[in-house]
Structure 1
Amino acid sequence: MSDAGNTNSGGPTPFIGSADFYGYSDLLTSAERDVLARLRHYLAEEAEPVLAGYWERGETPLFLRDGLTGLDLVEPAELRDAGEAVRSLFIGFRNLEFSRVDGSLAILFGGQAGMFRTIVRTGGSDEQLEAWDDAIAGFRMTGCFALTEPDHGSDIARGVQTEARRAGEGWVLNGAKRWIGNAAFSEYVAVAAKDTDDGQVKVFLARTDDPGLEIAKIEGKTSLRMVHNADIGLRDVRVPETHRLQRINSFADLNRAFETLRPDVVWNATGLQIGLYETVLAYAKQREQFGRPIASFQLVQDHLVTMLGNANASLALAVRLSQLADAGGVSGEQAALAKTWVCRHMRQSAALGRELLGGNGILLEHKAARFHADAESLYTFEGTDQINTLIVGRAITGHSAFL
């Protein structure tokens, strides 16, 4: 990979190449780099050649998850052998590697290794973690998380309508969930439901083959087409008390898991920008018009520099969030500001990148089209731009503008 133009000539080559203009990946250890290099090689060799076809068909390349499982990415042996913990910074760069290739792959892997595992690790008792965590990390116990509902997205903290009613030694769940990724490929759904006795939100691991649980793929998506998002119906689904996460007894308890997960979308949006920048830069260098590469045109260089600046400012915020997380935690306001700023600039870069490819920018073979479409999903989920803006506005003014 060429690093022409990188200003970090005095130190080690930044792992992610010339898009990392300030060398933030130098913060990775040698062991972390080795793991990420293995992931990068797999994605280049096995994923890149097939993604456009799967994306166009709206199908999930599930065989890639099976291959990724064998790469030892969750609790890597290299880190254990080096005596290193699995840092938030490493997880962030791992997310970046997925997203610089395709956002759907980030969700295919991260929905299990990130979202589902974090919910269980945050909410499970010691006994539950002992029984489940290794299996979840090794993808032998697969799952997804179901919070959003058909009528409640941004207001879900106050609007959970799915109910859990105590019945003898177990629980009965009734309700509906929407936009649940990976549901069709999971054994378990971690369902957030309101206890009818105390009105508090709790989380239950329901099996996807339980009687009364129905999964229906959401069709017609124009973004993240390889992600199998689903509607889930729950009608008198029985779950034993042993499958209720014992340490989640309110939405505030559930929010502890979100504090761990909030940096993920920032890293994903940053990875998308880097993948798009690399794609567009390579195209501009080889595409000729008026007898010379379009990379030599002033306005093209202006767009490329804007995209590079957006990507590196986003990377700076992502790295800082992970440093804060490794030091003890990220506040909701810090995560909200990073999410809204990074995704706004990701959206700008996505438009510029597609524009630079002209008519080719809408063809899947040139990859920019996928990045452009997938940016819209990242812009929306994990808190819309408006909601995150109001969270930060409340923090800096002391006044809530929520209605």
Structure 2
Amino acid sequence: MFDKFQKLIKLFKTVDLAQLEKLSQKVDLAAIINSVSKMDEAQLHMAMKMLTSTKKKKDPPPVDADFYDISAKLSPEDRALQLKVRAFLEAEIKPLVNKYWLHDDFPFEIIPKLADLNVCGYVYEGYGCAGGSSLVDGIIAAEFGRIDPSIATFLGVQSGLAMGSIYFCGSEEQKQEWLPQMQQLKKIGAFGLTEPEVGSATAGGLTTTCKKTADGWVLNGQKKWIGNSTFSDITIIWARDVDDNQVKGFIVRKENPGFSVEKIKGKMALRIVQNGLITLTDCVVPEADRLPHANTFRDTAKVLQMTRAGVAWMAVGCARGAYENALEYTLKREQFGKPIASFQLIQNHLVEMLSNLTAMQTLVYRLSELQDEGKLKDEHASLAKVFCTLRTRDIVSRAREVMGGNGILLEYNVARFLADAEAIYSYEGTKEINSLIVGRSITGFSAFV
């Protein structure tokens, strides 16, 4: 017992009287001495070690979700582009997205800045496009998704669906007219396939019709959930020919008589994306605006295959954004005097999130390799879309959970990722439709009705 007090007295001798006086005003020194007297040797040794320790507080590792260092496989030029896109999004997009998301509005001021970034139509050859790889295009989609899935969707519609339809199915004249302007975002495009009543059953039963006339084509019907359509210059409309029952594609200009758009309101996800309900009432489209290489639904599927792969990458970005925001939060948020990241249950959630995210990252990396090798099939893109969007839902849910009540506040970002993940899960083909595409491939049986 005497040895214990000797050690404590030795510690107090290093403190001058003024410090001791200040200390006595903050703590009960008698109570401390009483507690020390009850300690055994091991407890006292630990207490002395803590009190006399000069070790600096260890800084946590940087927040980075690329756990398997996939970016190291990129060329220096591609890695530089990735970091350029990331820096742009952090500086120009991240500060404003919560405000626009909350107000269900689109930040039109970013369009010239996006044009200067020069990544629209990245994979196409010519027409002002970079002619880059599908891998880097996917990485760009993930970087956009990491900051805001809504802006990622805007770019995906413009660059993938609208430009892709013209690039793969249009005439040379149509490509020359539209693609350079769309690449520079001087003209905005939309993609009208989904319908109010049939949704994903479009392959077998589009209700929007087209009929050849002396003046061109007459289109009738409705399209729903069409992103960018409230302000787009053109919309790619897919319609069933009443004469041969085949699907055909058209470039419909916003000024075409019989074409009208109503903004869809009340969304809980991707609120920055301006989705519209399009109504076509005896809408006349000249033959020059028909896509000459879009004559069956298989032609439409060429575009969807490419963009479905892009949605898988976007889901990876959404999941990464949620994970990194949650990890950063747990490193700063303290309970019981230490960061909650130091608790076992929190670490378990973080590791589960990172495990799913890393699996997603490696899957889409290989997916884009197949695409660049010309080996991509519908079932490859569908499997990636199913898996990545499903796992994203789990990741954003865990991200919200580790943040407690703050997880539902927009200012912490994860609430936005949580909501937006629901839209990504459903668009570009639901889980069920994409599962049947994969199921048909592995069994040889088509379960579509």
TM-score under structure 2 length normalisation: 0.83
Q: Would you say 1:304 and 2:358 are equivalent positions?
A: no
Instruction: Check the 8 A contact 2:156/2:307 in 1, yes or no.
Output: no
Q: Deviations over 1:330-377 (max 9, x none)?
A: 111111111111111111111100011100000000000000011111
Q: Would you say 1:369 and 2:415 are equivalent positions?
A: yes
Rate the CA distance shift 1:151–1:72 in 2: closer, same or farther, 3 A.
same
Tell me how far apart the structure 2 counterparts of residues 254 and 394 of structure 1 sit (CA, whole Å).
Answer: 19
Q: Would you say 1:251 and 2:297 are equivalent positions?
A: yes
Equivalent residue for 1:93, pick from 130, 133, 139: 139
Instruction: Check the 8 A contact 1:259/1:329 in 2, yes or no.
Output: no
Tell me how far apart the structure 1 counterparts of residues 121 and 194 of structure 2 sit (CA, whole Å).
Answer: 29
Instruction: Check the 8 A contact 2:120/2:155 in 1, yes or no.
Output: no
Q: Please name the residue that 1:14 is paired with.
A: none
Q: Secondary structure at the match of 1:164?
A: strand
Tell me how far apart the structure 1 counterparts of residues 138 and 415 of structure 2 sit (CA, whole Å).
Answer: 24
Q: Please name the residue that 1:23 is paired with.
A: 69
Q: Please name the residue that 1:11 is paired with.
A: none
Tell me how far apart the structure 2 counterparts of residues 179 and 74 of structure 1 sit (CA, whole Å).
Answer: 22
Equivalent residue for 1:359, pick from 405, 413, 433: 405
Q: In the alignment, residue 242 of structure 1 is paired with which amino acid?
A: A
Alignment of 1:77-226 (within 5 A): 85-226=131-272
Rate the CA distance shift 1:118–1:4 in 2: closer, same or farther, 3 A.
farther
Stretch of structure 1 that moved more, 96-105 or 330-339: 330-339
**How many Å apart are 1:201 and its aligned residue?**
0.7
Q: Secondary structure at the match of 2:309?
A: helix
Stretch of structure 1 that moved more, 226-235 or 19-28: 19-28
Equivalent residue for 1:230, pick from 276, 285, 290: 276
**How many Å apart are 1:391 and its aligned residue?**
2.0
Q: Would you say 1:337 and 2:383 are equivalent positions?
A: yes
Instruction: Check the 8 A contact 2:367/2:381 in 1, yes or no.
Output: yes
Q: In the alignment, residue 350 of structure 2 is paired with which amino acid?
A: L
Equivalent residue for 2:78, pick from 32, 41, 55: 32
Q: In the alignment, residue 159 of structure 1 is paired with which amino acid?
A: G
**How many Å apart are 1:4 and its aligned residue?**
7.1
Tell me how far apart the structure 2 counterparts of residues 117 and 401 of structure 1 sit (CA, whole Å).
Answer: 32
Instruction: Check the 8 A contact 1:75/1:86 in 2, yes or no.
Output: no
Q: Secondary structure at the match of 2:147?
A: coil
Q: Please name the residue that 1:291 is paired with.
A: 337
Equivalent residue for 1:386, pick from 432, 437, 441: 432
CA RMSD of aligned residues (A): 1.9
**How many Å apart are 1:209 and its aligned residue?**
2.2
Equivalent residue for 2:104, pick from 44, 55, 58: 58
**How many Å apart are 1:329 and its aligned residue?**
3.5
Tell me how far apart the structure 1 counterparts of residues 340 and 446 of structure 2 sit (CA, whole Å).
Answer: 48
Equivalent residue for 2:361, pick from 315, 326, 329: 315
Instruction: Check the 8 A contact 1:65/1:108 in 2, yes or no.
Output: no
Larger radius of gyration: 2
Q: In the alignment, residue 399 of structure 1 is paired with which amino acid?
A: F
Task: Extract unaligned runs of 5+ from structure 1.
Answer: 7-16
Task: Extract unaligned runs of 5+ from structure 2.
Answer: 1-58
Q: Secondary structure at the match of 2:265?
A: coil
Tell me how far apart the structure 1 counterparts of residues 111 and 399 of structure 2 sit (CA, whole Å).
Answer: 29
Q: In the alignment, residue 257 of structure 2 is paired with which amino acid?
A: P
Q: Please name the residue that 1:400 is paired with.
A: 446
Q: Please name the residue that 1:239 is paired with.
A: 285
Q: Deviations over 1:300-325 (max 9, x none)?
A: 00100111111110011111111000
Q: Secondary structure at the match of 1:197?
A: coil
